[in-house]
Structure 1
Amino acid sequence: MSRKKNTPSAPPMHFNITARILHWLMAAMILAMIFIGLGMMTSLTWRPWLLNLHVPLGIAILLLVIIRFINRLSFSVPKMPASISKFQSKAAGTLHWLLYGMMLALPLTGWAQLSAGGFPVKLFPGVNLPPILPQSPFLFALLHDAHRVMAWLLFFMVVGHLSAALLHAWVYRDGLFSSITWGRKMINKSEEPSARAAE
C-alpha cells in the first residue's frame, strides 16, 4: 500500500471571502472619502456637513484596515500569474503594502490633526473619540499639511492601482483581477501544461 507524501498545499485561486469583502467595501469607502475631501476643499457651505461624514468614515476605514491587515497575514494568497516578471511582482507587492500604510496613516493623521487643533473628533452625536495629541498650533499646521499631501498621494496610488487592475482584467486576462472577485479565475495559457501535468 503506497503512502501519499506530504506536499505543501497549492496556493488558493482566490483571496479568502473576508479579504474580498473588505477589499471592495474599503474601495467604495476610500473613493467616497476622496470625493468628500474634494468637496470640503471647494465648498465652505457644505464643509461642516461633509466633515461630519469624513471623520466617522475615516475611523471606520482605520478599523477595517487593521482587520484586513490581520486577515492578510493569517491566510495564504493567490500566486502572481506566470506572465508577470519578478520585478513587476515585487513592485506590486511594494505598492500593496504602501496602500496599507497610507490607509493607516491618513485616519491617524486626521485624528491627530483635530486633537492638536482642539476640535472634537465626532463619531456620532454625543459620541466623541478622545484626543491623541495635546493642543498645539504648530502640530495642527504640520499635520494639516501632512494629511493633505498624503490624501493626494493616496489618490494617485488608487488611480494607478485601478488602472493596473483594469489592464489585467480587460487586456491581459491573466486571472489576477478575478482572484479578488467572485468570478471564475482564468488559467494563463503558459501555465496550462504544468496544471495538466499536476492532475
Structure 2
Amino acid sequence: MKARFHIAIRLLHWLMALAIFTMLFVGAGMVSSVANRDWLYDLHKPLGIAILVLALLRLAVRLSTRTPPLPGDMPLFMQLVAKFSHLLLYGLMLAMPLVGWLMLSAGGYPVTLGGGIELPALVAKSNSLYALLRPLHSLLAYSLLLLVLGHMAAALFHGLIRRDAVLSSIGFGKSRPMD
C-alpha cells in the first residue's frame, strides 16, 4: 500500500524544518555575538511567532487528516518511540515560541514583527518570572535541537538502513510501498 502524509502536512513539515533550523542558528548567534545581536533579535522575534502560527496550523491539519501507517514489520518499541517523539516535537514547536513570548513580556520587551506591528504582552512585567523563563527558553531550545537531530537520525535510518517507506511518506518524490 502506498501511503503519504497529506500534501499540506508535507509542505508545512519542510517549511517548518527550514524555519526551525534557521531559528536554532539565529538563537546560537544571538548568544555568541555582540556585534550582530540587534539584527538577530529583530529576526528572532517574528520568526518565532511565524513558527508558532505554522505549528498551530500544522497541528490543525494533522488532527484533521489521516497519517500513513508505520511499516507492519516495525518493532513495537520503535513505533512507541516514533509516536512519543512526534508528540514531543509538536509540544516543543508550540512551547518554544510561547515561552519566548512570555519571557519577553515578563522582561518588559516588546515582541515586534516589523512594519510597526507589536504583539500584546502576555503577562505583566515581572523580573522574577523573566528570570525563570529565560533559562527555560534555552533548555527548550537545546531539547528541540537534540530531538530534531534524533528525528533526522531516525529518518536516515528508515531511508538508508530499513529502506522502508517512512522517509518517502513525508517527501515529494516517488512514493514507495509501505509493506
TM range (shorter): over 0.9
Name the residue aligned to 1:74: 64
Name which of 101, 109, 112 aligns with 1:111: 101
**TM alignment of 1:109-188, pairs within 5 A:** 109-187=99-177
* Identity among equivalent pairs (%): 45
Name the residue aligned to 1:90: 80
Alpha-carbon distance in 1 for matches of 2:100, 2:90: 16
- The answer to whether the 8 A contact 1:173-1:186 is kept is no
Residue identity matched to 2:131: A
Q: CA deviation at 1:126?
A: 1.2
* Residue 4 of structure 2 is aligned to residue 14 of structure 1: yes
Q: CA deviation at 1:113?
A: 0.6
Name the residue aligned to 1:40: 30
Alpha-carbon distance in 2 for matches of 1:87, 1:163: 16
> How many residues align structurally?
179
Residue identity matched to 1:104: L
Q: Output one character per residue of 1:44-70: Cα deviation in whole Å (capped at 9) or x when no partner.
A: 111110000000000000001111001
Residue identity matched to 1:83: D
Alpha-carbon distance in 1 for matches of 2:108, 2:133: 13
Q: Output one character per residue of 1:143-173: Cα deviation in whole Å (capped at 9) or x when no partner.
A: 0010000000000000000011011112211
Alpha-carbon distance in 1 for matches of 2:150, 2:43: 26
Secondary structure in structure 1 of the residue aligned to 2:74: coil
Gaps of 5+ in 2: none
Name the residue aligned to 1:65: 55
After superposing on structure 2, the runs of 4+ consecutive aligned residues of structure 1 that deviate more than 3 Å are none
Q: CA deviation at 1:137?
A: 0.5
Alpha-carbon distance in 1 for matches of 2:173, 2:129: 47
Rg larger for: 1
Name the residue aligned to 1:27: 17
Gaps of 5+ in 1: 1-9, 192-199
Query: Which deviates further from its counterpart, 153-162 or 168-177?
Result: 168-177
Name the residue aligned to 2:89: 99
Instruction: State the TM-score, normalized to the length of structure 1.
Output: 0.87
Instruction: State the TM-score, normalized to the length of structure 2.
Output: 0.96
Secondary structure in structure 1 of the residue aligned to 2:90: helix
Q: Output one character per residue of 1:117-149: Cα deviation in whole Å (capped at 9) or x when no partner.
A: 111111013110000011011000100010000
Alpha-carbon distance in 1 for matches of 2:92, 2:108: 24
